Amino acid sequence: MFNLEVPRKFAPLIGQAHQVAEEVLRPISRRYDTQEHARPKELDMLAALIDGMEAGGGSGGAGASGVRRSASEATNGATPENRNGSNLSTALSVMEMCWGDVGLLLSIPRQGLGNSAIASVADDEQLARYEGRWAAMAITEPEAGSDSASIRTTARLDGDHYVLNGEKIYVTAGERADLVVVWATLDRDAGRAAIKSFVVERSNPGMVLDRLEHKLGIRASDTAAFRLEDCRVPKEDLLGSPEINTGAGFGGVMQTFDNTRPLVAAMAVGVTRACLELTYEQLTAAGHPIDRARPLMAQSAAAAKYLAMEADYEAARLLTMQAAWMADNARPNSLQASMAKAKAGRTGVDVALGCIELLGAVGYGESELLEKWARDVKILDLFEGTQQIQLLIVARQLLGKSSAELK
The tens digit of pLDDT for each residue in 125-176 reads 999 999 999 999 999 999 887 777 789 999 999 999 999 999 999 999 999 9
pTM of the model: 0.91
Query: 1 or 258: whose pLDDT is higher?
Result: 258
Q: Is the pLDDT of residue 342 over 80?
A: yes
Q: How does pLDDT run across 241-261, given as a tens digit for each residue?
A: 898 876 555 555 566 788 789
What value does the mean pLDDT of the chain take?
89
Q: Which of 96, 141, 368, 384 is catalytic?
A: 384
Least confident of 194-208, 235-249, 383-397: 235-249
Average pLDDT over residues 59-68: 54
Q: What is the C-alpha to C-alpha distance for residues 82 and 1, in angstroms, rounded to an integer?
A: 7
Average pLDDT over residues 38-62: 77
Q: What is the C-alpha to C-alpha distance for residues 194 and 243, in angstroms, rounded to an integer?
A: 8
Is 384 labeled as catalytic in the residue annotation? Answer: yes
Angle formed at CA 88 by CA 87 and CA 94, multiple of 5 degrees: 90
Least confident of 65-74, 93-102, 297-306, 371-380: 65-74
CB count within 10 Å of CB 230 equals: 11
Q: Is the pLDDT of residue 88 over 80?
A: yes
Domain 1-407 CATH class label: mainly beta
Q: Is the pLDDT of residue 2 over 90?
A: no
Average pLDDT over residues 264-270: 97
Q: Is the pLDDT of residue 355 over 70?
A: yes
Residue ranges covered by each domain of the chain: 1-407
**One-letter amino acid of 404:** A
Q: Is the pLDDT of residue 54 over 70?
A: no
Average pLDDT over residues 57-84: 54
- pLDDT bin (cut points 50, 70, 90) of residue 191 is confident
Q: What is the C-alpha to C-alpha distance for residues 187 and 312, in angstroms, rounded to an integer?
A: 43
